A and B are shown apart, each in its own frame.
Chain A
Amino acid sequence: MSQLAVAEQDSAASTAPAAPIRQSVVSLTGITKSFGPTLANAGIDLSVATGGVIGLVGGNGAGKSTLMRILCGAMWPTLGSISFAGEDIGFADYGTGEAQRRGIRMVHQELSLCANLSVAENFFLETPGDAASRPGWRALYRARAREALDAVFPNNGIDADAEVGHLSIAERQMVEIARAAATPGVKLIVLDEPTSSLDLDRSKQLRAFIRQRAKAGLAFIFISHKLQEIIDIATEIVVLRNGRTAWQGHVADASIGRLVQLMGGDANPVHQHTVSAASAQDVLVRLSGPLTAELGRDIDIVRGEIVGLAGLEGSGQKELLHAIFSPDRKQNAAVTRHAQAGFIAGDRQKEGVFPLWSVLANISIGALARRPALSLVSDRANRDTAAGAASRLRLDDRRFGSNITELSGGNQQKALVARALVAGTPIILLDDPTRGVDIATKQDFYRLCDEIARSGRALVWHTTEDAELLACDRVLVFAGGRIVRELSGEAITESAVVGASFTLPADGHAGAGHKDAATAGLGRKLVNAAPFIGLAAVLAVMISANPAVASIFGLDLLLMPALSLVLVTAAQMFIVGGSEIDLGVGAFASLVSVLSATLLYDQPWLGALALVAALAAYAGLGGVIQARKIPAIVVTLGASFIWVGLGYALQPTPGGASPEWLSALFNWSLGMVPTSVILIAAVALIVFVIDRLPLGVVLRGFGNNPVAMIRSGWSPTRYALVRYLIAGLFAAAAGLSLTAINTASDINSGNSFTLLSVAAVVMGGCSLLGGVISPVGAIAGAVTLSLIGALLGTLSVSSDFNAATQGLILIALLTLRSLTADRRSEQ
């Protein structure tokens, strides 16, 4: 608590009495946010006036993101209040939706677009209000997207119908900025590192746009590490440091030097040791080939030195770290490693900690991972090893028993360093390790790095904080995936690093990649065409064996049974579109079939009621899965037993009868075209229409990027319910068709549909990761699969092989897909 008091004093002392003459849009007062023992924000005040452009600066971990999340309603503060135009709002009623209604929009650093949707559809997600589901709603958003993009970035050349996934990072950034700016009723736009991926011209366009809109009264918060941009664009600057306001004032009173100092200049690491002359056998890593082509020579990393990796984010630094860590991947022939390497990740949640374990277990795993799998573990031995490492790190070993997640970010990071130390590898790779770590720990950390290096290990250190590079013996500057400069000793300065970061490598290394991509593209096209080729092949074989198949009656006889699978496939497709799989969909269809052949036949009203109840239960399942974040696979598997159980209880043996109206529904004829073909085409059309509706777009958005959808104010639970309701309706239709076609029901009749529907969906080109609906392909796949039995019969193969054939087709397709897919995303 004493820290807090100090913070308030601090901010009180340093807050400049800048008088906002203009009306305030929003103000935050006394914002404090604690995460366990860490204070991410401590007593921060921030007021945004209409037409104001606030430059928000601060190092990593200064509390900028936390403050902005609180402002945007994505997080609640521990203490503090928020007011809009003087009106106080309780945080209890404040959330992302409310923030948006009040005109706050944020452009996130990690982009919040759905990559599987078009630019125009992404515009729709942000401002859905105007799209009453009337035809042509896309045109409205297409026009709006074009207009908004042209307003901010003239001559952008972005196609509003292009899929966002096909745009470059810079183009996506532009779309996102334009989308936020074009929102009707927007009052404040928060831009988090908006220019990090934009080139100079686009950055100038953006700043010109901000100036122009600010004149019109729109307010901005501009977060950037590029201080000259801040000085150029901001009217007021807020400097955060360690979760507190370090300075707040008019831009005229600020200079780059002053800001750097305010952001924590004194935390700068000092280079403390020099490498003793290296001999050839001390070389631990050698970098060569295209990676170092710019330099014209190989780079050796030797024992006892700290090598920094610098450059703009995403220029190849992380890739090099991973290449050194596992050099056996084919494209990394440029990296040779002569000793074992340990890895210390800065993204602790995702790549570092084992959240269920104690601190001790988190440390010891470093040593255990390198031992034979069947050797024994001893707590005492672990403790002894870990204690040695921990004492060097000033990590209290009384905390060994605590769960790792109870530690502050800094101490978690120490535990990860201890893990690397107990592993005892000569090479240690650091991936931005001081991210979100407080200054005191950072100092410890720099000291420790020096110590480790002095003990004869090599450290390869990727950092996003240029100042940290001063602690290194050498710095390799990256641009465009290559090392473009090597700085050492006195030559390492922030300006030298920044200068070199913008060097463009002489040749783009895209040449080789293009050819590979072309081959993979061809492979993918072939896989995508598989259901159609398969269907054509199956039909061709059957017709050649028995020409009667080609008649209207023959086709109808053959395809009518496929209708049920087509419907189940449609249901499964919507579930898979949400990156889940329903293992109970076949059983549900059977249950509906039983209900319709028994209750619906005997007592229509009761039957209808039971059907509605079953549908409600099915949709509710989706809600439970989403609300409790539990695996859909197990829940739907459990549900399948419920469906089957209900079916058995109603009808222990196959039987029942189809209501007349139901049979009539599936039993008519146009004479010229087989009824089954018309019905199957109708199903495809319905799926297609749902998918093209705004609803379909939202569902696909959730399948691709639920975080972005939640940020845009969409309710995940509501749409999970809707998704399962749609799937349930298709599955129910499948059940009714079973009853009508078989004129009786059997609770086991839909058993095989579950796997087949997944196979058909995969065949049709839907990704199991979600977000893709492809009605025609999936339905062609379903028809093909349901013909397998008849095909085997034609070829006089025993029907015993039916299941195996279907299983093998699924395995073969998934194998092909995984071989042709872009595997980079899998990491």
Chain B
Amino acid sequence: MNAVAAFSLWAQRNRWIWAAIGVLLLWLVLSIVTNRFSLSSLSGIVLSASFLTIVGIGQMFVVTTGRGNIDLSVASVITLSAFVALLSIKGQDANLAIGVAAAILLGLAVGALNSLLVVGLGIPAIIATLATGYVLATATLLSNRAISGFTVSPALKYLASGRISGVPIMAVIAILGVAATSFVLRYTVFGQLLSAVGQNRTAARLAAIKTGPVIASAFIISSVLASLNGLLLGAYIGGAFLEMGQPYLLQSIAAVVLGGTLIFGGSATAVGTLFASILLILIVTTMQIVGLPPGAQDIVQGIVVIFVLALAGRQAMTRRAPVEPTSGGSDVAVPAGDRPA
């Protein structure tokens, strides 16, 4: 009994564990039910999950800034970046540096635009990023017309789909990224400031935190990661097509929420995002194996997001119930802890 209590306390602080358990369980079930699952098929799943993780980490930074902030432009950034990479690299390793620079520049530019709209003009993040996404969609259409052929630089192709003794290079990149992100969140001042801003923006401002730059950097990180992801994804699939970034919109949010990052902001876990990405890809793969119709994957993903949110919503509420009477004077009339639902 004590061990259970201790675990639940520990799990409250390490919410990533649920996604990890999910991966393990689903993996076990699949291995037992079908005999088509092996370590090599796992490495394929991890490879796909790595792309999702990179976008998810960026999305996580934005979600952590709180107030329902979400970056809806990631999908368009991924697609456009894949096109830009094809146009600038032209299949030559020699142009690789230019391509990477172009991708980073694209990410910086979109991130800066989003920050300007959200921080500078006070436009709600979803509307601002949705609108940015539409502008990028036109840019994608134009680059689609400009493109002459789909040849990918071999070096990039190797990076995106190669393996070193069975381990996908992309997985190594993603894991390194997750480790670096965890370090930044936990051990740097920036990580603390980000969490403070996400928990209570007014309090953060009054604690002398410059909230604008913190929020802006989250949007920039998100766009840059999405852009780099587009570059690699383009290399992986060996080209680019319109709407190729589309699945990453909901999946990145799902990975963030499923991983244990609070949708209300203030608390992020990169490891959780990694495991949740694997779990999501595992779910999609399972459905493909089972042979569900194409729409079913979308349905299941949508249901997973809503379900997880509905579960997590209550947790966050009880966590934030006001504890003291008199200063809560202007709070909602019915504090969560005071009456049953």
Measured CB to CB, the residues of A under 8 A from B are 33, 35-36, 38, 40, 60-61, 63, 65-66, 69, 74-76, 95-96, 109-110, 325, 340, 342-343, 345-357, 361, 364-366, 368-377, 405-409, 412, 419, 423, 425, 435-436, 581, 583, 621, 624, 627-631, 633-635, 637-642, 644-650, 652, 706-707, 710-711, 755, 758-759, 762, 768, 800-808, 810-811, 814-815, 818-819, 823, 826
Highest count of chain B CB atoms <10 Å: which of A369, A407, A624 = A369
Chain A residue nearest in CB terms to B294: A648
Measured between beta carbons, the chain B residues less than 8 angstroms from A710 are: 332-334
Measured between beta carbons, the chain B residues less than 8 angstroms from A624 are: 306, 310
Shortest distance from the beta carbon of B136 to any chain A beta carbon, whole Å: 8
Within B188-227, the residues touching A (CB, 8 Å) are 188-193, 195-196, 199-200, 202-204, 206-209, 213-214
Cα(A631)–Cα(B202), bound, Å:
20
Contact A648:B189 (CB < 8 A) given known A110-B329, A351-B206, A624-B310: no
Contact of B189 among A40, A348, A374 (CB under 8 A): A374
Contact call A641/B334, Cβ cutoff below 8 A: no
Contact call B257/A372, Cβ cutoff below 8 A: no
Q: Does chain A have a CB within 8 A of B253?
A: yes
Q: Does chain A have a CB within 8 A of B112?
A: no
Cα(A82)–Cα(B255), bound, Å:
49
Measured between beta carbons, the chain A residues less than 8 angstroms from B145 are: 800
Shortest distance from the beta carbon of A339 to any chain B beta carbon, whole Å: 13
Measured between beta carbons, the chain A residues less than 8 angstroms from B250 are: 637-638, 640-641
Contact call B208/A409, Cβ cutoff below 8 A: no
Cα(A353)–Cα(B207), bound, Å:
10
Q: Does chain A have a CB within 8 A of B127?
A: yes
Contact of A649 among B191, B195, B293, B303 (CB under 8 A): B293
Contact call A646/B295, Cβ cutoff below 8 A: yes
Contact call B257/A375, Cβ cutoff below 8 A: no
Shortest distance from the beta carbon of B126 to any chain A beta carbon, whole Å: 5
- Chain A binding site: helix, strand, loop or mixed by DSSP? helix
Within B239-258, the residues touching A (CB, 8 Å) are 249-250, 253-254, 257
Contact call B324/A348, Cβ cutoff below 8 A: yes
Chain B residue nearest in CB terms to A67: B325
Contact call B323/A405, Cβ cutoff below 8 A: yes
Measured between beta carbons, the chain A residues less than 8 angstroms from B309 are: 628, 630-631, 634-635, 638
Shortest distance from the beta carbon of A520 to any chain B beta carbon, whole Å: 15
Contact call B296/A369, Cβ cutoff below 8 A: no
Chain B residue nearest in CB terms to A630: B313
Contact call A642/B208, Cβ cutoff below 8 A: no
Encode B263-303 as 1/0 by CB contact (under 8 A) with A. 11011000000000000000000000000011111111111
Contact call B334/A807, Cβ cutoff below 8 A: no
Contact call A61/B326, Cβ cutoff below 8 A: yes
- Give 19 new A-B contacts, CB below 8 A, not counting A368-B192, A406-B323, A811-B128: A63-B325, A347-B327, A354-B199, A354-B266, A365-B193, A370-B208, A373-B188, A583-B130, A621-B306, A634-B263, A641-B298, A641-B299, A642-B298, A649-B293, A707-B333, A758-B130, A803-B134, A811-B135, A814-B127
Contact A755:B131 (CB < 8 A) given known A345-B206, A815-B121: yes
Within B133-191, the residues touching A (CB, 8 Å) are 133-135, 137-139, 141-142, 145, 186-191
Measured between beta carbons, the chain A residues less than 8 angstroms from B68 are: 631, 633-634
Contact call B301/A641, Cβ cutoff below 8 A: yes
Cα(A637)–Cα(B300), bound, Å:
13
Contact call B266/A356, Cβ cutoff below 8 A: yes
Measured between beta carbons, the chain A residues less than 8 angstroms from B187 are: 376-377
Contact A645:B325 (CB < 8 A) given known A377-B192, A811-B128, A811-B131: no
Chain B residue nearest in CB terms to A412: B324
Measured between beta carbons, the chain A residues less than 8 angstroms from B192 are: 361, 364-365, 368, 377
Contact call A803/B135, Cβ cutoff below 8 A: yes
Q: Does chain A have a CB within 8 A of B341?
A: yes
Within B77-92, the residues touching A (CB, 8 Å) are none
Shortest distance from the beta carbon of A105 to any chain B beta carbon, whole Å: 14
Contact call B328/A649, Cβ cutoff below 8 A: no
Contact call B193/A368, Cβ cutoff below 8 A: yes
Chain A residue nearest in CB terms to B257: A634
Chain A residue nearest in CB terms to B266: A356
Cα(A646)–Cα(B199), bound, Å:
37
Contact of A652 among B189, B294, B321 (CB under 8 A): B294
Please, could you name 23 A-B residue pairs with CB atoms under 8 Å apart, sorted by A? A75-B338, A348-B324, A350-B203, A351-B200, A353-B203, A368-B192, A405-B323, A408-B323, A423-B208, A628-B314, A630-B309, A630-B313, A633-B68, A634-B309, A635-B305, A638-B254, A638-B302, A638-B303, A644-B298, A649-B296, A804-B137, A808-B131, A811-B132
Chain B residue nearest in CB terms to A801: B138
Q: Does chain A have a CB within 8 A of B96?
A: no
Contact of A350 among B122, B124, B298, B330 (CB under 8 A): B330
Highest count of chain A CB atoms <10 Å: which of B187, B188, B190, B328 = B328
Shortest distance from the beta carbon of B231 to any chain A beta carbon, whole Å: 22
Shortest distance from the beta carbon of A715 to any chain B beta carbon, whole Å: 12
